[in-house]
Chain A
């Protein structure tokens, strides 16, 4: 294996989030809807119906291009891509061939730069459903998905391992969520991968014969499929076989890829400009306006977090993974920083620790996103301040936080209701201690005679009576009284 380079390029299809479909006014929110209820003459390809480009989808596509550091074409053209499949009602797909919306970009995956060849806009197909109806095996077509906007992101063959392929795919997924153009819900086929895999002798310039694995719908399957394919190709080469250019599919149940069609039978798509769709122009000013709507992207956020908060790379990656988490972190920190006390860096560390720990734990436990969390940064900051002022112990604070998550109440109310406030008042403690000492004179004299364990006994007795006492404060006062 060490004698070979692995070369991987990915084509990623992302469904864009729009109200209506790419070329008609049918609703694009089809998931879970009754089959063929989100259709019109255009997306059913009825004779005479015409496509009209969804400008919102094009703006989203431009955002995608910008997020991928691509050059944006001012002049956008759509082409007809002819092929036959029962889920493709027109017999051609409207796509972009030589003038894609975006080209020549890159994304960083860790320290590695993966170049993007292009991103182009197209439409999704319908869906075939194979089932048995009164004993007959039938295939049904649901056109609800037909015409839903898709963007295809094509990487250069810069990826060198299955793991990197997965990380690249995750990076694209993250970017899509950041810019808010897509739900990229893997379960709803919001993102699909085709992987082009080849191997070549180490250092060899010329690429080996590529095999395309089509329609992979999860990160895990992507990694498994590429790993399988690399191993298969290595085995083939070792046993003197030639790799043939073909399309393969990942069969999860078998854990392997299987051949679907070879190059000889691959279609000629006969691309040509769609005469129903005049080219769309976006001038540089419009593109600039769209660029201004982009949020801070993960790479920029990461370097800013490093500079501003001096957190370690792992901590930052957890915070930046989801921009809503990053925002929650920063909002909390901003409020918290307005208070006196420790430095901002120390405060950042404290908030970060909470996010990495308790916050992530409850999100995972409840299976929710941070924007669904009932705890606002402001009320959470109150809790942090209570810890700082020793009003609650760190241990009790976790309990308070859980209650905040559950009820959405303010921490002040929760510590009162649950009697979680630490008692640090010396006078109040003094009375309790005196009572305890009076009741346990034997232990007092033992301690004074040098039996250290009697202190622990007395400490325990006071703790029991003074519920919620701050242990540090108690220890000091008790020592004082026993002198």
Chain B
């Protein structure tokens, strides 16, 4: 059920938040055994928060769409008093004494936290297989990965265990699993949502965002989590529109650019086929499909891996075995790989050739987007070049895994917002449509995604057995 539907039930008192929460907890208990989306379930916290929500609803005061609605958080989002592991053994025993701003935001409108969701260790991966705890399964095919790193968040929403969840996106970690699980995943503009309390992957790239069943829900959640935060110097003071207000504005006459680089080799023909059908749909709705170019797309992956790993290598230096109780042996192999990579890229004698050069190319990638947006309103493409793959298929080849981020990484490097909406299916496996807009154009982005969604019924299809 969407947030909108649940909200109207709560508001008309057909159900209380406490009842809704109990239902959700039961559903999680059953469903989670199949998909393993949760790392921890928080019934006490949830029921307590539901009580507060019910009190607010009973008071007949204006309540928010998210009041009383259960949600889950990717386990890199810090929650006071609730173990937060970043899916790493290093933080197995870490109970934070403070909360992330995004969680505070949701608490302030009396949202109900039902649990923490699985992901790749420290959000490093594209399949959630790098979690130190469990392998989350794709509800559409339990043999396949849910994508990553926010795989637990996407799987939980897709399987109907929670109406919405928050993920974080550094190089596609919200959008790619949303694509794999056929849900809506939004990565906001860098600076739109506070990063305070997100255990970082790449600080200059990370953004938290909603994973939902519908575009409207995405807008509703963004309304609550977006905004300037004095605790995050990289968050931006900028007017906050009501993102859910003008969703049905339509896309007539708007230009949708398909970068010619996106449909080159490396894209699974099955994905390409679904995508071309989706772009046809956009055309049917009055949007104009044009060719555009992001000439430095090819450099995006190496640039991303140098910059992100450099940041990682310093971010993880604090887990030195002194204060968090676990030695560095507890880091997983992918984590160790990125620490090594980043340390190398920053080392004296290599800095200029790696980090500095990557930072310069990043600027060019940023300019690519600015140039493209002079001529088009949106850039579209498949969210992922490949279909959801089977467990173990790519773990032995990190480079193959890295290429799963091909279409999602450039947006993080440029800081622009992008959304993945259910774009169709190929042999029963979901394919996401990614729409990218210019900085702080989330409103326009959501309008376009909404137009597409309303003209299709992919988002209404649910995996069997959930």
**A residues in contact (CB < 8 Å) with B:** 40-41, 45-53, 80, 82, 84, 86, 89-92, 141, 268, 270-272, 275-278
Contacts and interface: CB of A to CB of B under 8 A. Distances in A.
Contacts of A268: 347-348
Contacts of B78: 46-48
Most chain-A CB neighbours within 10 Å: which of B76, B91, B96, B202? Answer: B96
Interface in B90-113: 91, 94, 96-98, 100
B347 A270 contact: yes
Given A41-B97, A82-B346, A270-B348, A276 B203 contact: yes
B346 A41 contact: no
B61 interface: no
Interface string B288-329: 000000000000000000000011011011101011000000
Interface in B224-266: 230-234
Contacts of A47: 78, 84, 86, 91, 94, 96, 199, 318
Find the residue from A47, A51, A53, A80 having the highest chain B CB count within 10 A. Answer: A47
A132 B300 CA distance: 54
Nearest to B90: A47
B200 interface: yes
Give the secondary structure class of B's interface: loop
Interface stretch (B145-153, B190-198, B364-372, B419-427): B190-198
B323 A48 contact: no
Contact of A84 (B91, B200, B317): B317
28 contacts: A46-B97, A47-B91, A48-B96, A48-B198, A48-B200, A49-B98, A49-B196, A49-B197, A50-B231, A52-B232, A52-B233, A82-B313, A82-B346, A90-B318, A91-B314, A92-B314, A92-B317, A268-B347, A270-B314, A270-B346, A270-B347, A270-B348, A272-B351, A275-B203, A275-B234, A275-B311, A276-B234, A277-B233
Interface in B437-452: none
Contacts of B84: 47
A90 to B, nearest CB: 5
B343 interface: yes
B378 interface: no
By secondary structure, the A interface counts as loop
Interface in B319-371: 320, 322-323, 343, 346-348, 351, 355
Nearest to A89: B318
B204 interface: yes
A91 B322 CA distance: 11
Interface in B70-84: 76-78, 84
Contacts of B311: 275
Given A41-B97, A268-B348, A91 B317 contact: yes
Interface of B: 76-78, 84, 86, 91, 94, 96-98, 100, 195-200, 202-204, 230-234, 310-311, 313-314, 316-318, 320, 322-323, 343, 346-348, 351, 355
Contacts of A48: 76-78, 96, 100, 196-200
A278 B234 contact: yes
Contact of B233 (A45, A80, A84, A276): A276
A86 B322 CA distance: 7
Contact of A53 (B97, B233, B310, B346): B233
A49 B343 CA distance: 22
**CB-based closest 6 A-B pairs:** A91-B317, A275-B204, A270-B346, A275-B203, A48-B78, A47-B199
Contacts of A51: 233
Contacts of B351: 270-272
Contacts of B94: 47
A201 B372 CA distance: 64
B346 A89 contact: no
Contacts of B202: 275
Given A41-B96, A86-B322, A141-B322, 13 more contacts: A41-B98, A48-B77, A48-B196, A49-B98, A49-B197, A50-B195, A82-B346, A84-B320, A270-B313, A270-B314, A270-B343, A271-B351, A272-B346
Given A47-B86, A51-B233, A91-B318, A272 B355 contact: yes
Contacts of A40: 98
Contacts of A82: 313-314, 317, 346
